[in-house]
C-alpha cells in the first residue's frame, strides 16, 4: 500500500505487484530452473502460476478443504445436481460416484488454470493430481474402472473447452486430452499393476502413500514398463510423478522413537501408569484415570483409543502432543528415570535424534532420485530401456525424462531447499509451508545458491548411523534383494544400500502407511457423508 501513488494508482499497483512476484523465492527458483513446484491445495492457483508453479494436487481430502474454504462450491454442487437429476436416483448406491462428481467440480477449474501450461509445454507440465478412492486402493480392477470413468468424463468436458482455448491452433493438436494424473496409493503391491496399466494407456500416475525406497523404486519401474508400452504404440505421454511423503515418514519415526523412550523410562518407576498420567498432563494429552480408556487426536486425521499401558504410551507419542523429541518434559522424565545424569545431557541426546530424524524423508528422496536420475545413472537406464523394451533412444529418453520425484508432506523449509534438483524433480507444497519457505529465504545469512541441485548433497554418516538404530528407518532406506539384483543388472552401484528394505507384503503394514491411510480414509468418508447429505437435500426439493 505504501508503494501506491495517488496520481498513477494503476501503474504503481502493477509495478508493486511485479516487484512482489519477482522477489519471491519461488519465482526466483523457477526462473533459474532450480526445480519445478506444485501446490497441495485446490485454491489460489492463478497467483501461484505466476510464481512458476506447474502442478497441483487435488483429491477428495483436499477437495473437502476447498469446499470448507470456498462454500460457494457447495452451491455449485447443488446447482449441478439440479441440472443433472440422474445423480439423484438411488443416492445410497452411488455415494462414491457423488464424491467423484463433487471432487471433479473442484478439479476442473484447477485444470483450466493449468490448461495453457499443459499445451504450451507439450504435456510436460500443467498436470493435476487426482487421488483414486482410498477405499478400493488395493483392488486393481475397481481402481482402473474408477480412473477410466473419471478420465472419460474429464475428456468429454475438455473436448468442448478446448474448442475455445485452442481456437486457431492446428487441428493436428490433440483436443480433450485431460491434464490429469491419478494418485495411486502405494498401500499394497496392487499399486504396481494399477500404475503400469494406466501408464500403458497413456494415462499418467502419481504414486502416493509412499515413504520408502523399495516402494518408490518399484513404482518408478512400473511407470517405466507402462510408459514403454505406450510410446511403442505411438501414444503421447505426459509428465508423471513418484511422491515421497518425507514429512510423514519423519513423523512416524519420531513417534516410534518417542514411544520406545517413554516405555524404557516408565519401567523404572514403581507405578508406570501414574507417572505416565503425570507426564501426559504436561503435554495436554486427554488422559483419564488409571485403568480407564483414553481417547485422543493423533495429528494424522483420526482419533486413537488406548486401553493398555503400551497403547497409552503410543497415544502420548503422537505428534499431536509431542512435536519434537527435544522436549523439556520428555528430557525431565528421562532424567527422573535415571537414564541420564542431567537434563542437559538428555536434551543433547534428544536433539541429536531430532536432527537425524529431520533428514529421514530427505534421505529417502535423495536415494530414489540418485538411483534413477543422477548423472551417474540416468544414461544406464536409457540403455536398459532400449535393450529391455526395444525402444529407440528418443523413446527411452521420453520415458525417463517424463518421470519426476515429488517430495511432499514437508514439515520445515529445509525439506524443500534440500530436495531441489534441476531435472526429474517437482516439489509440492501446502500454502502454510510455502510461507515458511518464503520467510526462511528472507532470513539473515540465507544464500539460495547453497541449495542449487541440493539433492546431490552428502550428509554426515553419523546421521544415518543414528537412524539405523530403528528398524522402520532401515526398512524405509534400504533396498530389497530383488531390487538390488535388477539395479546391478542395469549397472547401478548398490554396494552400501542394504537389502533389508520394506518387503512387498508389508507395504500396507508399515507405520506411516497405516496412519496416513486411516486419516485419508476418514477424511474421504466424512466428505462423502456431507456430499450425500447435499444430494438428498436437493432430491427432496425435487421429489426425486
Residues 177 and 70 in one domain: yes
DSSP state of 141: H
Residue 496 placed within a domain = no
Which of 357, 385, 416 delimits the end of a domain? Answer: 357
Domain that residue 8 falls in: 1-31
Per-residue pLDDT for 131 more than 90? no
206-238 confidence digits (pLDDT tens): 999 999 999 999 999 999 999 999 999 999 999
Place of cell 486427554: 286
Nearest alpha-carbon partner for 213 in 365, 324, 108: 365
- By mean pLDDT, which of 66-70, 117-121, 220-224, 305-309 is the weakest? 66-70
Residue 528 placed within a domain = no
Residue 504 placed within a domain = no
Residues 1 and 61 in one domain: no
Neighbours of 524 (CB within 10 A): 22
What integer pLDDT is reported at residue 61 of this predicted model?
A: 67
Per-residue pLDDT for 302 more than 80? yes
- By mean pLDDT, which of 120-124, 128-132, 362-366, 395-399 is the weakest? 128-132
Residues 25 and 67 in one domain: no
Measured CA to CA, the distance from residue 522 to residue 403 in angstroms comes to: 30
Residue 517 placed within a domain = no
Measured CA to CA, the distance from residue 415 to residue 407 in angstroms comes to: 8
Nearest alpha-carbon partner for 56 in 241, 249, 250: 241
> Mean pLDDT throughout 148-166?
95
Measured CA to CA, the distance from residue 242 to residue 305 in angstroms comes to: 33
Residues 198 and 157 in one domain: yes
In the predicted model, what is the mean pLDDT of the chain? 95
5-14 confidence digits (pLDDT tens): 878 888 988 8
Residue 117 placed within a domain = yes
Per-residue pLDDT for 543 more than 80? no
Measured CA to CA, the distance from residue 412 to residue 324 in angstroms comes to: 12
Q: Is 42 exposed, middle or buried (0-12, 13-18, 19+ CB in 10 A)?
A: buried
* Per-residue confidence band for 264, with pLDDT thresholds at 50, 70 and 90: very high
What integer pLDDT is reported at residue 544 of this predicted model?
A: 60
Residues 241 and 256 in one domain: no
Measured CA to CA, the distance from residue 208 to residue 184 in angstroms comes to: 6
Residues 229 and 167 in one domain: yes
What's the CATH code of the domain at 101?
3.20.20.70
Residues 399 and 455 in one domain: yes
Q: Write 278-286 long-range contacts (CB < 8 A, 24+).
A: 279/316, 279/329, 279/330, 279/333, 280/312, 280/316, 280/321, 282/329, 283/316, 283/321, 283/322, 283/327, 283/329, 284/321, 285/315, 285/316, 285/321
Residues 316 and 389 in one domain: no
Residue 180 placed within a domain = yes
DSSP state of 447: -
420-451 confidence digits (pLDDT tens): 999 999 999 999 999 999 999 999 999 999 99
Which of 357, 383, 399 delimits the end of a domain? Answer: 357
By percentage, how much of the chain surpasses pLDDT 90?
A: 85
Which of 471, 497, 517 delimits the end of a domain? Answer: 471
What integer pLDDT is reported at residue 104 of this predicted model?
A: 85
Residues 26 and 69 in one domain: no
Measured CA to CA, the distance from residue 462 to residue 466 in angstroms comes to: 6
Residue 162 neighbours by CB under 8 Å, 6+ apart: 115, 175, 176
What integer pLDDT is reported at residue 108 of this predicted model?
A: 85
Per-residue pLDDT for 194 more than 80? yes
Residues 272 and 243 in one domain: no
Residues 8 and 81 in one domain: no
Residues 134 and 217 in one domain: yes
Residue 84 placed within a domain = yes
Domain count, the chain: 3
Q: Is 112 exposed, middle or buried (0-12, 13-18, 19+ CB in 10 A)?
A: middle
Place of cell 528394505: 501
Q: Look at strands 55-58 and 294-297 and give their pairing.
A: unpaired
What integer pLDDT is reported at residue 59 of this predicted model?
A: 63
What integer pLDDT is reported at residue 286 of this predicted model?
A: 96
- Which sign, positive or negative, has the C-alpha torsion 248, 249, 251, 252? positive
What integer pLDDT is reported at residue 69 of this predicted model?
A: 84
The residues that bridge with 403 in the sheet, in sequence order, are: 240
Residue 319 placed within a domain = yes
How far CA 530 is from CA of 75, 98, 143, in Å, comes to 13, 10, 23
Amino acid at each position: 500500500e505504501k508503494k501506491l501513488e495517488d496520481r498513477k494508482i494503476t501503474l504503481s499497483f502493477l509495478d508493486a505487484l511485479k516487484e512482489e512476484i519477482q522477489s519471491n523465492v519461488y519465482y526466483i527458483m523457477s526462473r533459474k530452473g532450480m526445480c519445478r513446484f506444485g501446490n497441495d491445495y485446490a485454491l489460489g492457483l492463478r497467483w501461484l502460476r505466476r510464481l512458476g508453479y506447474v502442478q497441483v494436487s487435488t483429491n477428495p481430502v483436499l477437495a473437502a478443504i476447498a469446499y470448507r474454504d470456498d462454500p460457494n462450491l457447495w452451491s455449485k454442487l447443488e446447482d449441478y445436481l439440479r441440472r443433472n437429476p440422474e445423480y439423484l436416483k438411488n443416492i445410497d448406491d452411488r455415494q462414491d460416484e457423488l464424491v467423484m462428481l463433487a471432487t471433479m467440480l473442484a478439479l476442473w477449474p484447477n485444470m483450466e488454470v493449468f490448461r495453457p501450461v499443459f499445451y504450451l509445454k507439450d504435456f510436460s507440465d500443467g498436470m493435476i493430481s487426482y487421488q483414486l478412492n482410498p477405499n478400493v486402493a488395493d483392488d486393481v480392477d475397481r481402481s482402473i474402472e474408477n480412473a477410466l470413468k473419471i478420465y472419460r468424463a474429464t475428456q468429454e468436458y475438455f473436448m468442448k473447452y478446448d474448442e475455445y482455448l485452442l481456437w486457431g491452433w492446428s487441428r493436428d493438436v490433440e483436443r480433450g486430452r485431460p491434464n490429469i494424473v491419478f494418485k495411486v496409493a502405494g498401500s499394497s503391491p496392487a499399486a504396481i499393476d494399477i500404475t503400469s496399466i494406466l501408464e500403458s494407456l497413456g494415462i499418467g500416475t502419481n504414486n502416493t502413500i509412499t515413504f520408502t525406497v523399495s516402494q518408490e523404486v518399484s513404482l518408478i519401474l512400473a511407470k517405466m514398463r507402462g510408459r514403454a508400452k505406450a510410446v511403442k504404440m505411438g501414444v503421447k505421454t505426459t509428465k508423471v510423478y513418484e511422491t515421497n511423503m518425507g514429512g510423514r515418514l519423519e513423523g512416524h519415526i519420531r513417534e516410534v522413537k518417542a514411544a520406545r523412550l517413554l516405555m524404557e523410562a516408565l519401567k523404572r518407576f514403581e507405578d508406570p501408569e501414574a507417572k505416565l498420567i503425570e507426564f501426559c498432563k504436561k503435554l495436554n494429552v486427554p488422559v483419564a484415570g488409571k485403568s480407564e480408556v483414553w481417547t485422543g487426536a493423533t495429528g494424522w486425521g483420526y482419533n486413537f483409543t488406548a486401553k493398555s499401558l503400551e497403547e497409552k504410551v503410543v497415544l502420548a507419542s503422537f505428534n499431536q502432543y509431542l512435536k519434537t523429541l527435544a522436549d523439556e518434559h520428555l528430557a525431565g522424565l528421562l532424567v527422573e528415570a535415571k537414564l541420564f545424569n542431567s537434563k542437559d545431557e538428555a536434551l543433547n541426546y534428544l536433539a541429536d535424534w531430532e536432527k537425524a530424524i529431520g533428514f529421514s524423508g530427505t534421505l529417502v528422496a535423495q536415494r530414489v532420485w540418485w538411483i534413477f536420475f543422477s548423472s551417474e545413472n540416468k544414461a544406464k537406464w536409457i540403455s536398459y530401456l532400449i535393450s529391455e523394451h526395444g525402444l529407440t533412444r528418443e523413446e527411452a529418453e521420453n520415458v525417463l525424462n517424463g518421470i519426476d520425484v515429488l517430495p511432499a508432506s514437508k514439515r520445515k523449509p529445509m525439506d524443500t531447499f534440500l530436495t531441489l534438483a534441476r531435472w526429474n524433480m517437482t516439489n509440492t507444497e501446502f500454502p502454510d509451508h510455502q510461507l515458511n519457505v518464503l520467510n526462511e529465504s528472507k532470513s539473515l545469512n540465507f544464500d539460495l545458491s547453497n541449495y542449487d541441485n541440493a539433492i546431490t548433497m552428502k550428509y554426515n554418516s553419523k546421521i544415518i548411523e543414528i537412524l539405523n538404530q530403528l528398524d522402520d528407518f532401515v526398512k524405509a532406506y534400504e533396498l530389497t534383494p530383488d531390487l538390488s539384483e535388477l539395479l546391478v543388472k542395469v549397472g547401478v552401484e548398490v554396494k552400501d544400500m542394504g537389502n533389508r528394505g520394506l518387503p512387498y507384503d508389508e507395504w500396507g503394514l508399515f507405520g506411516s502407511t497405516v496412519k496416513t491411510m486411516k486419516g485419508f480414509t476418514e477424511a474421504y468418508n466424512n466428505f462423502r457423508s456431507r456430499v450425500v447429505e447435499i444430494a438428498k437435500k436437493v432430491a427432496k426439493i425435487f421429489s426425486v
